[in-house]
Chains A and B, each alone.
Chain A
Amino acid sequence: MIPFDVAYYRPSTIEEAVQLFSSLEAEGKRPLYYGGGTEFITLARLGRTFADAVIDLKSLPECRILSVTAHELTFGAALSLSTIEEANSFPLLTKAVREIADRTARNQITLGGNICGRIFYHEAVLPFLLADSRVVIAGKEGISEQSIHEVFEQYMRLSPSQFLVQVKIDAVYNKLPYVHTKRRQQGNTGYPLVTVAALKKDEKLRVAFSGVCPFPFRSLEVEERLNRKLPLDVRIANAIEALPSPVLDDIEGSANYRLFVLRHALLDVITALEGESA
């Protein structure tokens, strides 16, 4: 049970949503944009988040788009993960979202909720980091489209009044070889010890991680080290030295165990993408 009162709003346009946020703030309220609601309800029940108004974005047509053209794929932020899974328009994304939570939960969790939420794994963002995607963001200043690399640095750098509308990728990324692996401590539905997503473009590996550090990341330094023409174990050891922060050490797994799992995951991923030449 949520131990505080919440007013629920369901706007039907982007402008209405942004306006609602401003007017609620002006009334001294603390509004929150709302997608599937699973994270909000979980954290609210535990007293770890608060909002006295939620603005449900699921009725905004722009947030529900799933479009595939010859040049571009567009994913609305209010699409459920299971909708994306069923559509299978970007196979690496399909694989990534299929490993998040469980099937029934994925009927509710939205793409935007996973990428912009507070729970730090944000595994749905990994394919978009690899595909140099563009994000459409709405806020008081209007609607803008930016590179994901300008906005996602450890987490989505949105102001409270902004929300994610869409994520777009060039269609070329849809056809590249890819690997996605998620290693858990146990079971098939929990958080990762290590998740590695990778694709190969122009004979170079691109690799993004979740569960390794307290934030998901794609590091050009790590990629450069993984792409050097050296023995595979040396490339992996060099890449691990360039991780952007100390490795997570928590109840899911110790830092040493995560590193052990990471080495093996990278070995499998690179071997799969490079074959015998690895």
Chain B
Amino acid sequence: MKSEVILHINGEQRSTVIRQADTLLVVLRHLELTGAKPGCLNGDCGACTVLVNDTPIKSCMMLAIETVGQEITTIEGLHDTAIQRAFVEQFAFQCGYCTPGFVMNAYALTTQKPDADEETIRKWLESNICRCTSYQEIEQAVRSVLVQKKR
């Protein structure tokens, strides 16, 4: 079953035809928004993380049709944010495949939880997997943004 829908993505309205069974990840990539990455497709790795109404969501685990009328933000919608700069400064990636998902999650964390304690940082970052094991650098990137915000 197909539907013509309008999705609000990165501040733009995108009209597209989707299968009602399509996940958000599939639809985003058909719209050439390929920053959200297919990894496990099982909700485990977090490489496909995007924001729906500012909340991190694994886009492989949500039907695209559920997001009609909601605000979707993908990595293509972030431009020179503090967390993106911190990832570069802290060398918080190697192959980069997991990076968009980590950045989206970390962006939400640092903007919504500026007073996040160690436990909160750990709990949020557990949602993503980095096969290159850049975990320490990623955590440093998050911490550096939180420290900047407190200044």
Contact = CB atoms under 8 A, between A and B. Distances in A.
Interface of A: 1-2, 4-8, 10, 36-38, 41-42, 44-45, 54, 56, 98, 101-105, 107-108, 188-189
29 contacts: A2-B21, A2-B22, A2-B23, A5-B1, A5-B20, A5-B21, A6-B21, A6-B63, A7-B1, A8-B20, A10-B66, A41-B23, A41-B63, A42-B61, A45-B41, A54-B63, A103-B124, A103-B127, A104-B46, A104-B49, A104-B56, A104-B105, A104-B124, A105-B61, A105-B127, A107-B55, A107-B57, A108-B61, A189-B126
A73 B87 CA distance: 42
A4 B23 CA distance: 12
Interface string B66-93: 1000000000000000000000000000
B105 to A, nearest CB: 6
Interface string B14-32: 0000011111001000000
Contacts of A189: 126-127
A102 B19 CA distance: 28
A98 B63 contact: no
Interface residues of B, number: 28
A96 to B, nearest CB: 14
A250 B99 CA distance: 34
Nearest to A105: B43
B19 A5 contact: yes
Contacts, number: 78
Contacts of A56: 66
B127 A37 contact: no
A8 B41 CA distance: 21
Given A8-B20, A105-B61, A38 B1 contact: no
Interface of B: 1, 19-23, 26, 41-43, 46, 49, 55-58, 60-63, 65-66, 105, 123-124, 126-128
B43 A38 contact: yes
Contacts of A42: 42-43, 61
A246 B7 CA distance: 50
Contacts of B60: 41
Given A102-B46, A103-B56, A104-B46, 19 more contacts: A2-B21, A5-B21, A7-B1, A7-B20, A8-B66, A36-B61, A37-B62, A41-B23, A41-B43, A41-B60, A41-B63, A42-B43, A45-B42, A102-B126, A102-B127, A104-B124, A104-B128, A105-B127, A189-B126
Contacts of A105: 43, 58, 61, 127
Nearest to A98: B123
Contacts of B19: 5
A38 B57 CA distance: 11
Contacts of A188: 126
Nearest to A4: B21
In order of increasing CB-CB distance, the 4 nearest A-B pairs are: A104-B127, A102-B127, A2-B21, A6-B21
Contacts of A102: 46, 123, 126-127
A258 to B, nearest CB: 23
Nearest to A107: B55
Contacts of B63: 6, 8, 37, 41, 54
A189 to B, nearest CB: 5
B58 A104 contact: yes
Nearest to B42: A42
A82 to B, nearest CB: 8
A103 B63 CA distance: 19
Nearest to B20: A8
A110 B63 CA distance: 15
B143 to A, nearest CB: 17
